[in-house]
């Protein structure tokens, strides 16, 4: 591994290569948010309450698995290929296999056996995603130590994630539904076809392995890791110190909530556009409306950060997104295109946090280094990863609890029977009010909880540079 100290001036190859990592992961991970719940309820006929328990059990295991994996990576010496890149490469194939298994329909399987199969495949996928995602998240800190370049890598990661999510959220809704009849008003009845979904997941899984290969070839670890003496690392001490860091804790909560929000709205909008608007094909536009604003701000993002600061932009953006979502709740629109218009406005506000979330993570890890004189990317990203999985759990459990509360009938949806008017109204409410509240909470945390302001970051960079100089 290279030990050069010059880390500035990363090239476009580095940025594209880094973006490919999240692109490969999101090709399958986006399907979890968009289709998993619908697949479990409408294809496998699993009761929503049982799905909620499944997700809780998986997260209990993640509470053990994720910190252990992060600690393992932190404690290992770099290979000739680097400290983080090999794990991404090695586990990309098991990740792809687990994704296909998670969306596989096995003929003539009993409900109990389907539930057991769902447990095994869902937990296995979560473990493989952890195995890839923790080293991938840590990788940016050893590609460069320059703040602006890290911010750029965060943006490119978000771009990669956005592109990686497009096939699952834009293309698949066009192909994985089968027409089973027509409603009284002439609108086609669309039902999720499990076999079609399995086939398309398999294609995306193979593609993800290819993309991970190019990610491995195009990235380079430049920043030499801090050498740890034998017995110099304690997972419990690392986790304890991270939880004493206010900025880290606040950002972990925000990371949890942004994933909860994304998974929740992706899942609820699948139901909303299928059962409320009777236009499942329009669901694809949700992703477009959410990610299109990125194209607007990416060219000027660094200039905006230089002027206003990352924390400041993210806080204001989430407040704007929350207001847009609240308006959508109050207007109760029956027009899907009006709904999509406000989704676009909300996406404008979300853009700043979506693009900069990983730059914020690198900032809090730097803050941890300044406080402890230890650099522990693996443990830091493991806890962030676990927080995001908790967010995924909150979305899954919350959605299924709310579906049960409003008396959602998956059989009615599946076989083209119109849902009662009161259920339809409640479906709209839970699809708009909950996201609005979650967005508002994130805005408040960023305004008043997360304390790495533009001014404080500048001071921290100077102090950290001095500490590193003295430790050389």
Judge whether 318 and 448 are in contact, CB under 8 Å. Answer: no
The answer, yes or no, to whether residue 82 has pLDDT greater than 90, is: no
Judge whether 218 and 14 are in contact, CB under 8 Å. Answer: yes
> How sure is the predictor about 228, in pLDDT bands with cuts at 50, 70 and 90?
low
Task: Give the span between the Cα atoms of 353 and 251, in whole angstroms.
Answer: 11
Give the SS3 label for residue 47.
Answer: coil
The answer, yes or no, to whether residue 436 has pLDDT greater than 90, is: yes
Q: State residue 463's pLDDT score.
A: 83
Mean pLDDT rounded to a whole number for the chain: 84
> How sure is the predictor about 186, in pLDDT bands with cuts at 50, 70 and 90?
low
Task: Give the span between the Cα atoms of 350 and 63, in whole angstroms.
Answer: 28
> How sure is the predictor about 6, in pLDDT bands with cuts at 50, 70 and 90?
very low
Per-residue pLDDT reduced to its tens digit, 103-131? 998 888 888 888 999 999 999 999 999 99
Torsion of CA 277, 282, 285, 287, to 10 degrees: 80
The answer, yes or no, to whether residue 278 has pLDDT greater than 60, is: yes
Average pLDDT over residues 151-174: 83
Tell me, what DSSP letter sits at residue 178?
A: E
Domains, the chain, ordered by start: 12-224+233-471 (1.20.1250.20)
Torsion of CA 57, 58, 62, 63, to 10 degrees: -20
DSSP structure string for 389-432: HHHHHHHHHHHHHHHHHTT--HHHHHTTPPPPHHHHHHHHHHHH
The answer, yes or no, to whether residue 310 has pLDDT greater than 80, is: yes
> How sure is the predictor about 51, in pLDDT bands with cuts at 50, 70 and 90?
confident
Task: Give the span between the Cα atoms of 401 and 422, in whole angstroms.
Answer: 17
Q: State residue 324's pLDDT score.
A: 95
Average pLDDT over residues 149-158: 84
The answer, yes or no, to whether residue 287 has pLDDT greater than 80, is: no
Residue 305 has a CB neighbour count (10 Å cut-off) of 22
Task: Give the span between the Cα atoms of 171 and 198, in whole angstroms.
Answer: 14
Most confidently predicted of 271-285, 314-328, 453-467 = 314-328
Average pLDDT over residues 245-261: 93
Q: State residue 233's pLDDT score.
A: 55
Buried b (16+ CB within 10 A) or exposed e, 111-141: eeebbebbeebbbbbbbbbbbbbbbbbbbbb
Judge whether 263 and 392 are in contact, CB under 8 Å. Answer: yes
Scanning the structure block, which residue is given the tokens 């619908």?
38
Judge whether 312 and 454 are in contact, CB under 8 Å. Answer: yes
pTM of the full structure: 0.74
- Rounded to a whole number, what is the largest CA-CA distance in the chain? 76
The answer, yes or no, to whether residue 172 has pLDDT greater than 60, is: yes
Average pLDDT over residues 340-358: 91
Task: Give the span between the Cα atoms of 252 and 367, in whole angstroms.
Answer: 14
Task: Give the span between the Cα atoms of 296 and 351, in whole angstroms.
Answer: 9
């Amino acid at each position: 591994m290279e030990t050069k100290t010059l880390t500035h001036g990363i090239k476009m190859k580095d940025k594209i290569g880094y973006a490919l990592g999240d692109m490969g992961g999101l090709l399958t991970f986006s399907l979890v948010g968009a289709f998993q719940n619908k697949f479990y309820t409408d294809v496998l006929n699993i009761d929503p309450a049982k799905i909620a328990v499944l997700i809780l059990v998986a997260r209990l295991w993640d509470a053990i698995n994720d910190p252990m994996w992060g600690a393992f990576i932190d404690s290992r010496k770099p290979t000739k290929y680097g400290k983080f890149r090999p794990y991404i490469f090695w586990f990309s194939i098991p990740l792809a296999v687990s994704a296909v298994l998670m969306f596989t329909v096995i003929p003539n399987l009993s409900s109990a056996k389907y539930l057991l199969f769902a447990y095994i495949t869902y937990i296995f996928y979560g473990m493989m995603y952890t195995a890839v995602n923790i080293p991938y998240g840590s990788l940016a800190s050893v590609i460069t130590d320059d703040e602006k370049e890290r911010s750029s890598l965060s943006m490119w990661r978000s771009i990669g994630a956005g592109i990686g999510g497009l096939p699952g959220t834009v293309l698949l809704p066009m192909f994985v539904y089968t027409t089973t009849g027509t409603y009284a008003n002439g609108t086609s009845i669309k039902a999720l076809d499990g076999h079609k979904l399995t086939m398309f997941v398999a294609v995306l899984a193979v593609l993800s392995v290819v993309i991970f290969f190019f990610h491995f070839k195009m990235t380079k670890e430049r920043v030499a890791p801090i050498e740890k003496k034998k017995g110099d690392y304690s997972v419990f001490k690392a986790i304890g110190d991270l939880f004493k860091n206010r900025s880290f804790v606040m950002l972990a909560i925000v990371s949890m909530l942004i994933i909860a929000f994304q998974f929740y709205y992706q899942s609820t909008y699948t139901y909303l556009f299928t059962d409320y608007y009777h236009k499942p094909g329009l669901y694809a536009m949700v992703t477009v409306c959410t990610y299109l604003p990125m194209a607007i701000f990416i060219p000027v993002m660094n200039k905006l950060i230089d002027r206003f600061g990352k924390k400041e932009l993210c806080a204001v953006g989430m407040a704007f997104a929350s207001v847009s979502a609240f308006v959508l709740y109050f207007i109760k629109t029956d027009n899907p295109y009006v709904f999509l218009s406000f989704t676009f406005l909300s996406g404008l506000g979300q853009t700043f946090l979506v693009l900069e979330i990983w730059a914020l993570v690198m900032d809090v890890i730097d803050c941890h280094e300044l406080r402890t004189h230890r650099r522990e990317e693996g443990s830091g990203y493991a806890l962030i990863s676990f927080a995001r999985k908790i967010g995924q759990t909150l979305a899954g459990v919350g959605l299924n609890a709310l579906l049960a509360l409003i008396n959602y009938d998956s059989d009615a949806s599946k076989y083209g029977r119109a849902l009662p008017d009161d259920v339809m109204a409640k479906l709209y409410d839970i699809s708009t009010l909950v996201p609005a509240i979650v967005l508002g909470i994130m805005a408040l945390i960023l305004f008043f909880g997360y304390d790495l302001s533009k001014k404080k970051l500048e001071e921290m960079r100077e102090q950290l540079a001095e500490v590193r100089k003295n430790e050389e």
